[in-house]
Chains A and B, each alone.
Chain A
Amino acid sequence: MADVDDSDLLAAIARGDEEAMRHLHAEHASWIRRRLLRRFEDGELVEEAIQDTFMTVWHKPNAYRGEGEVGAWLWGIAIRRLIDLIRRRRRQPSTLVGSVRSAEDEALVGLEFGEFAGILERLPQELLGVVRATILDGLTTREAAVLLGIPQGTVKTRMVRARALLREEFG
């Protein structure tokens, strides 16, 4: 399956090819599920998020613009579907704002990943969750707050502290 290009699969899906959809699902569903479960332990909600994710892909395969890995694009959809579901369960208004990942964060992700993850490891546990949600998973403050179940303000103050610590590490 590795020899079939994911973007070719998306093109085939756009033509209504169910077999291509099966391949894309087989390739990606399992790792995305794992990764979601590591962030949110409700298996039922995660299953639903996976179904929603692939239905979104089925209806709008052209939303992938050819930028970056298809895997990263799928992950972006999946984590947002999960957050939507969490939000709906908590009956919170579902308004999405654009990503607030700053240029500084982009520079962090642009580092050799191993190096970056190594620095992260030295952060206190409560800051790590916030950094993972915003920088690694690319969520907004609001989305991170929903996923982590903490107020938005807390996400913001923790991010300020985390950025300061990270700056020291690079310093």
Chain B
Amino acid sequence: MAVAGTTPDSVTLRAEGGVARRQAWSRASRYILLVATLLGLVVLVILGIDNAIVGIPSLDWDFLSNYPSRFAERAGIRSSILGSVWVLVFTVIFAIPVAVGAAVWMEEFAPQNGILTTVRLNIANLAGVPSIIYGILGLAVFVRLMELGPSILAGALTLALMILPMTVITSVEAINQVPPSIREGSLALGATRWQTVWNHVLPGAMPGIMTGTILAVARAAGETAALIMIGAFTFIAFDPSLSFHGLLDSFTTLPIQVYNWTIRPQPEFRANAAAGIIVLMIAVIGLNALALVVRDRLRRN
């Protein structure tokens, strides 16, 4: 065996001079970038604290159960909460079947040609249309042309069109997640394509569709501009009726009520706006959290 080799000259490999400086910057950059990342969240936290301080004193049962009023201390969100719930229920009833139907057609049945590409591009573009434009559409078509007036029905149809693109997109993704082997297995047993979709693909896509639906509801729940556009900025001091005719009643929603109180010049209303914001934020954050839970829970099963 040969004699062991040697190493005449030594190095330290320590960071010195330029390298030390560059590494110092690089290490510091981690914290600088982290702070920048958190800055937006800091604003959100301040927003939460500010509204909590201003709003919590007014947040009591009376606030939840009273109708709006000219007097700040007597004003409440009863009609706007009921209006929000009612409009959102019908928004979901209108939007989800259409969105899932469109997604199923696109993923399972559509011919692979220009028509499908057109539908895809069209939906991607609709997703980027500002909500106030959907409001104009609702105003012209549902309120005026169909003569529904600024009603719950017109509001729900407007919001349904607004959330349609995003629910189609999430439904398409959910259907895509279903492994092809499931379809093949079902078809091999002699099921028709529709039976396969109904019995296997849709159940498999359910978690994704539900998650997308809940997120879309959260978005619709906070929508203000489109509903003001169709004329929902009104004073409502009655509960929506549970009849078919009730659908043609006018309505208000929680975000519209918050807007109303925000633009009042009298400072007393600031507390009402903050209390309304607390309720709205709890609802929206709750829906977002629910979406995450639903996705995890159903995915596990």
A binds B: no
Binding site for A on B (CB under 8 A): none
Seen from chain A, the residues whose Cβ lies within 8 Å of a Cβ on chain B are: none
